Amino acid sequence: MSTKEAVYSLVKIIPKGKVATYGQIARLSETGPRVVGKYLHQNQNSEVVPCHRVVHADGSLATSYAFGGDDKQMQKLKSEGVNFKNSKVDLKSSLWNQIR
C-alpha cells in the first residue's frame, strides 16, 4: 500500500462528528503532516475520502480546503455535529480518540 493509499484509508474511517489532526494521520501513515495535507488536497472525491474531517493540531481549518475553502469545511463539520469554539474545532469534544 502506498503512503497516499494509507492516508486515504485512515481518513475514510474517521466517523461523522469527529475529526483527526494532520499529525495523527501522519504518524499512523509514517509520513509528515504536510504530505498528508498534499494528499488530501489531491483528493478527488470528498464523499469517499472525507478530508474535511482532518484539521490542524490547534483545531484550525484548512484555508485551502479543496472543496470550497475553510468556510465550506466548517459548514460540513458543523452539519455532522462537530463542536467549535470561535472558528476552531473544539478538540476536547470532537477529536476522534480511536486514532492515535
What structural domains and CATH numbers belong to the chain? Answer: 3-94 (1.10.10.10)
pLDDT > 70 fraction of the chain, expressed in percent and rounded = 98
Q: What is the pTM of this model?
A: 0.93
Residues labelled as active-site residues: 51
- pLDDT score of 99 more than 70: no
* 7-35 mean pLDDT: 96
Q: How far apart are CA 60 and CA 67, in angstroms?
A: 16
Q: How far apart are CA 9 and CA 60, in angstroms?
A: 23
pLDDT at position 62 is 87
The angle, 0 to 180 degrees and rounded to 10, between the axes of the packed helices 33-41 and 3-12 is 80
- Helix extents (H) in the chain: 3-12, 22-29, 33-41, 69-79, 91-94
- pLDDT class of 32 with cuts at 50, 70, 90: very high
Q: How far apart are CA 36 and CA 82, in angstroms?
A: 21
